[in-house]
Amino acid sequence: MKRLFLFVGLIAWGSGALASRVERPNILWITSEDNNVNWVGCYGNEWVETPHIDGLAAEGFRYTEVYANAPVCAPSRSTWITGMYAVTMGTQPMRSRNVIPHDVIPYYPDLLRSVGYYVGNDNKTDYNIGGREDQSCWDNPTEVNWKRLKEQEPFFQVVNFYESHESRTQGDLVDIEHVAMETRLRAYHPDVPEIRQNYAKYHDAVKRMDRRVGEALAALEASGMADRTIVIYTSDHGGVLPRSKRYLYNTGLHCPLIIRIPERYHSFWPMEAPGGVVDRLVSFVDMPKTWLSLAGIEVPTYYQGRTFLGDEQEPEAAYHYAFRGRMDERFDCARAVHNKQFLLVRNYMPYVPWVQHLEYQWKIPAMRAWEAHVQAGKATPIQARPFSAKAVSEELYDMKADPDSVYNLIDDPAYATIAAELRLALKTWQLEVVDTGLIPESERTRMAADANLTIYEWAADAERYPLERLLDAADMALAQEIKNRAVLRQLCGSEYLGERYWGSVGLFLIKDDSIAELLLTDESHEVRAMAAWTLIQNGREKEGLSALRMLIEKDSYALLMVLNILDWMGEAAQSLQDGLAEKEFEADADLQKMQRYLLHKWN
């Protein structure tokens, strides 16, 4: 396997790229939280008022094919701050704070500061990275000070607005300005009052967010610096109502991006005049590289994006890549690749539901109303499907014809060619960027720690992390074919933990318990847990439940996965209720959430 090894030394960056320019531009980056393009007026939402964002689009350039690499904040911002995919660094699980080698991977504000930029952040970090305080890379990590900015030009200033965050969909559905009936519901959402009211409530939130954008633009204008400041507006990922944020579909990834560039920097314009629409495919990983290029900084060679604007613009990518890992207390693992029309999702855990109970998400009234509608037997198949186990290892959607991603085309022979193209592109990308997610989170964390390495450094060693073999093993398991039984059993005997894990998954998926009892003594607790579940689904509950009980009693390092399995496996798990109720998880909020949920569910 030819592995792409990332450049691991800091390069010299200087002002050479700026030799022909009079001055470096100021850059104001305005970010809003959680809203995909469908919530913004100039992107076609006729039920919300966003005059300030719309006005910025009229004065700048509106990008229509812009996508987050992760459909949730912390992994998305991890990618932003480093210019590298979170899956390369091992920072893709939500709220993981895994350490990266900070002497090798600086943050992009560090590079800006090195050439004299004053950098500020008002006031969202959430980089999901350990070993360094998030605020340390900023000159001013608090409220923007416009007077100070003028004294410190050139500046790079982030202004982040919470008004559109998921939390704004929570709480009572009262005092709502927008009319609930004046919106189009997603195909998977039942048309019930609570859901319509939640849509209206979020329209209110987006309107408030737009007002804050207007305030920031007015402050810039009043400062007298607008004519030498590039203004960028985008959301930090998609969302926000159920089955958008956290999910690798159009609604979770497709984001607004508007860039206004003053006349004095007209060489940066992507077209002849402002006010136009740009349909170039842009990934969030492209942004830090592009911002550095606009600032005249030589970009480090290990950056994984493409410069999409300015004098150093690179060719447009053919595909965008995205990833999903653990979301708080809930496990799922998936990857996505798409061009401007077709989206392929690779499900590495097809045995879990698309929509799982997540304590924070269930604070949204629409989420509870949707679940109740399904449980009452009133939902259509499209509305009910997300609450069942996926069963499918791949999904293919036409994002233009099916923006809600509800009609899976993967088994349609008419789309076999595009599916094969995207499948190959995804695997090629995983090898190039060294996707660290091909073994369970608990195992890669443990193995890297045992080697005294960061996950990034550990995975870069093909002897420790044979990615090509793991991808092949995963393909074999996820095929879910009885004819692969012998090969899967061989994988379970591999000296490498990752192959044993995928062998155990494959045997579970084809319901083969022939060697499950042997796997209960495997070094890997993840393999033991899968083997126990295999026994239980094949009617050997006593053996399987005994193994799971032992993992709970011994506080397994894979305990969060074990508790997730208790939910997925159904009624048989309830016999473990007393043992779980006795446990105290004072230091782990995610274990506490799963414990509360399971005990409530069983009672």
Tell me the pLDDT tens digit for each residue of 377-410. Answer: 999 999 999 999 999 999 999 999 999 999 999 9
The arithmetic mean of pLDDT across residues 272-299, rounded, is 97
pLDDT the model gives residue 209: 98
* Mean pLDDT computed over every residue of the chain: 95
The arithmetic mean of pLDDT across residues 510-521, rounded, is 98
**pLDDT band for position 1 (cuts 50, 70, 90):** very low
Containing 384, the helix (H) or strand (E) segment is helix 381-384
**pLDDT band for position 603 (cuts 50, 70, 90):** confident
Give the span between the Cα atoms of 518 and 537, in whole angstroms. 16
Contact between residue 563 and residue 594 where contact means Cβ atoms under 8 Å apart: yes
- Compute the half-sphere exposure of residue 85: CA atoms within 13 Å on the CB side of its CA: 25
Cross-sheet strand order for the sheet of 334-338: 320-324, 334-338, 342-347, 394-398
Q: What are the backbone angles phi and psi of residue 310, rounded to the nearest 5°?
A: 100, -170
Residue 476 confidence (pLDDT) above 90: yes
**pLDDT band for position 15 (cuts 50, 70, 90):** very low
Question: Residue 355 has which token pair?
Answer: 């929509």
The arithmetic mean of pLDDT across residues 463-490, rounded, is 98
pLDDT in tens, 576-590: 999 999 999 988 999
Residue 509 confidence (pLDDT) above 70: yes
Contact between residue 275 and residue 59 where contact means Cβ atoms under 8 Å apart: yes
**pLDDT band for position 10 (cuts 50, 70, 90):** very low
pTM, entire model: 0.95
pLDDT in tens, 201-250: 999 999 999 999 999 999 999 999 999 999 999 999 999 999 999 999 99
Give the span between the Cα atoms of 538 and 571, in whole angstroms. 14
Dihedral-angle region of residue 209 (phi above 0 means left; psi in -120 to 50 means alpha; beta otherwise): alpha
Give the span between the Cα atoms of 50 and 159, in whole angstroms. 17
Question: Residue 462 has which token pair?
Answer: 């093909």
Residue 4 confidence (pLDDT) above 70: no
Question: Residue 64 has which token pair?
Answer: 């229509």
Contact between residue 144 and residue 157 where contact means Cβ atoms under 8 Å apart: yes
The arithmetic mean of pLDDT across residues 259-275, rounded, is 97
pLDDT in tens, 412-435: 999 999 999 999 999 999 999 999
pLDDT the model gives residue 23: 87
Least confident residue range of 11-15, 113-117, 398-402: 11-15
Contact between residue 117 and residue 13 where contact means Cβ atoms under 8 Å apart: no
pLDDT in tens, 188-201: 999 999 999 999 99
Give the span between the Cα atoms of 226 and 145, in whole angstroms. 15
pLDDT in tens, 296-307: 999 999 999 999
For residue 154, whether the previous peptide bond is cis, meaning omega lies within 30 degrees of 0, is yes
Contact between residue 229 and residue 220 where contact means Cβ atoms under 8 Å apart: yes
Contact between residue 552 and residue 529 where contact means Cβ atoms under 8 Å apart: no
pLDDT in tens, 329-368: 999 999 999 999 999 999 999 999 999 999 999 999 999 9
pLDDT the model gives residue 482: 98
**Type of residue at 330:** R
H and E: helices and strands count for the chain = 22, 13
The arithmetic mean of pLDDT across residues 433-451, rounded, is 98
pLDDT in tens, 27-50: 999 999 999 999 999 999 999 999
Tell me which residue of 10, 6, 8 sits closest to 297, measured CA to CA: 10
pLDDT in tens, 311-332: 999 999 999 999 999 999 999 9
Containing 111, the helix (H) or strand (E) segment is helix 108-114
Residue 282 confidence (pLDDT) above 60: yes
**pLDDT band for position 491 (cuts 50, 70, 90):** very high
CA distances from 139 to 109, 126, 136, 147, 156 (A): 9, 17, 8, 14, 10
Contact between residue 196 and residue 365 where contact means Cβ atoms under 8 Å apart: no
Give the span between the Cα atoms of 133 and 159, in whole angstroms. 19
Contact between residue 25 and residue 228 where contact means Cβ atoms under 8 Å apart: yes
| Terminal Cα distance for the chain, rounded | 52
Q: Which DSSP symbol is given to 186?
A: P
Dihedral-angle region of residue 572 (phi above 0 means left; psi in -120 to 50 means alpha; beta otherwise): alpha
**pLDDT band for position 2 (cuts 50, 70, 90):** very low
Residue 20 confidence (pLDDT) above 80: no
